[in-house]
């Protein structure tokens, strides 16, 4: 279906293709934060920002920002963006599609000589993916005063995070004092990283919430014995109990996933001791990654797990510790007003849309803690992401960019007006 969009799909395709070329030759598509290739990609984006008439800068957290001044800057800043770094051997669209779509919004406004009342900022957030320092969302946390100060002391291969931010043009010396009370609203476009939109033939996903992520570590201790001589009914096999637990976790998560709201739980890390073919396993440590759109679902899962491990320990003659919550982040809902704005924008450009949750984390989650924020998804082939096969059709990305364009204009038009001294006139 052809559409007369307010954005230039060809420019979007050109920029995404150009960034895809900036990768480790044998590892498409790899452009990790803080690497020379990341800096090369940043230089390309900055040049394109300047060509679009944006004033560029690196903020103290190392974020690349292109700014377009509005007629009434006291109204605050409308911010649009995502991230340009990748995971190793990751996708060519994850994050990048959002940065380029945001840039295209600014270009389309200029093409049509549209002046906004608000200032507009296009942002490439630093290190949304897990970086060489073992932490993620460095830029969005840092911009909003949510970066743990201890992170600045983290090091990798003799380099410190603070030093690396400074090398990018950031200011780690003032980073901990950062906040952005001027953000009137934030939008992010991202590929879905799942199969729902493609399967249901929907154009846009309106993200109702970014799921909270809870990680739980469980240690199962049995007894090491000779694998050939110990009778099967006299073993305390930690691995057998762990295998049953993994299946039980999968089944419990599948039941919770049938209820309203996104829920998933995965055993993604698994360590076994002594890890020898001729020894009955004596110890297993596993890590559960749980994702919940509705906090009550995660609490219900944790209560079930606390009770279940005791029953399992008795059944298999092993010891299982009470699950340890290694980390625990709450779900982040999208701003209701901005979600409505995005839905109205979809209608204006003729985009079929549905509401859905995000099972993955995004920079939006951190901006949303200090300002109204919302995001949209565009389809990706077979839901593949964080892999070389990741693919999104350019027409789908352009349609998403058109939704952002309309949403920015609508937000700018409808925001409650204030005078420079802070009093309201609307």
Annotated binding-site residue numbers for Zn(2+): 83, 94, 129, 190, 386
Backbone angles phi, psi at 271, to 5 degrees: -120, 135
Residues in the chain: 426
- Assigned token pair, 148: 């743990």
Distance (Å) of CA 254 to CA 78, 242, 258, 307, 393: 39, 18, 7, 18, 31
Q: Give dist(CA 212, CA 221) in Å, integer.
A: 30
284: closest CA among 226, 225, 222?
Answer: 222
Q: Give dist(CA 218, CA 308) in Å, integer.
A: 12
Token pair 């990768």 is at which residue? 23
Residue positions forming the annotated binding site for allantoate: 215, 278, 291
Distance (Å) of CA 7 to CA 60, 108, 298, 377: 31, 5, 41, 17
Distance (Å) of CA 219 to CA 74, 222, 226, 227: 55, 10, 22, 21
Residue 239, Cβ neighbours under 10 Å: how many? 19
Q: Give dist(CA 30, CA 32) in Å, integer.
A: 6
Residue positions forming the annotated binding site: 83, 94, 129, 190, 215, 278, 291, 386
Q: 3-state class of 306 per DSSP?
A: helix
Can you spell out the DSSP letters for 23-66? S-TTSTT---TTSHHHHHHHHHHHHHHHHTTPEEEE-TTS-EEE
- Assigned token pair, 212: 């909270």
Q: Give dist(CA 354, CA 256) in Å, integer.
A: 21
Backbone angles phi, psi at 359, to 5 degrees: -85, -15
């Amino acid at each position: 279906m052809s559409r007369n969009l307010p954005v230039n799909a060809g420019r979007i395709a050109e920029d995404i293709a150009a960034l895809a070329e900036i990768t480790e030759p044998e590892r498409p598509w790899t452009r990790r934060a803080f690497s020379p290739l990341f800096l090369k990609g940043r230089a390309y984006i900055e040049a394109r920002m300047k060509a679009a008439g944006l004033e560029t800068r690196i903020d103290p957290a190392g974020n690349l920002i292109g700014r377009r001044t509005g007629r009434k800057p006291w109204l605050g800043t409308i911010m649009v963006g995502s991230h340009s770094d990748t995971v190793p051997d990751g996708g060519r669209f994850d994050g990048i599609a959002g940065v380029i779509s945001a840039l295209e919004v600014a270009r389309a406004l200029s093409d049509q000589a549209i002046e906004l009342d608000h200032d507009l900022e296009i942002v490439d957030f630093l290190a949304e993916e897990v970086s060489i320092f073992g932490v993620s969302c460095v830029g969005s946390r840092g911009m909003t005063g949510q970066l743990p100060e201890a992170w600045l002391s983290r090091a990798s291969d003799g380099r410190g995070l603070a030093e690396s931010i400074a090398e990018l043009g950031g200011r780690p010396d003032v980073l901990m004092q950062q906040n952005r009370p001027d953000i009137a609203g934030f939008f992010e476009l991202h590929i879905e990283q799942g199969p729902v939109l493609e399967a249901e033939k929907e154009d846009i996903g309106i993200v109702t919430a970014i799921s909270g992520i809870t990680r739980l570590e469980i240690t199962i201790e049995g007894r090491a014995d000779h694998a050939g001589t110990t009778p099967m009914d006299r073993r305390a096999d930690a691995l057998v109990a762990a295998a049953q637990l993994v299946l039980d976790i999968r089944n419990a998560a599948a039941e919770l996933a049938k209820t309203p709201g996104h829920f998933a739980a995965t055993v993604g890390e698994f360590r076994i001791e002594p890890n020898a073919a001729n020894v009955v396993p004596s110890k297993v440590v596993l890590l559960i990654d749980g994702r919940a759109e509705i906090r009550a679902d995660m609490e219900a899962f944790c209560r079930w797990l606390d009770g279940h491990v005791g029953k399992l320990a008795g059944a298999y003659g092993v010891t299982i510790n009470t699950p340890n919550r290694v980390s625990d982040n709450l779900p982040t809902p999208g701003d209701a007003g901005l979600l409505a704005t995005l839905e109205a924008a979809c209608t204006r450009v003729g985009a079929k849309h549905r509401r859905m949750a995000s099972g993955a984390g995004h920079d939006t989650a951190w901006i949303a803690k200090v300002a109204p924020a919302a995001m949209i998804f565009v389809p990706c082939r077979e839901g593949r992401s964080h892999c070389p096969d990741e693919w999104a059709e350019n027409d789908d990305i352009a349609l998403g960019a058109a939704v952002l364009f309309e949403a920015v204009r609508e937000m700018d038009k409808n925001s409650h007006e204030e005078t420079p001294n802070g009093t309201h006139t609307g």
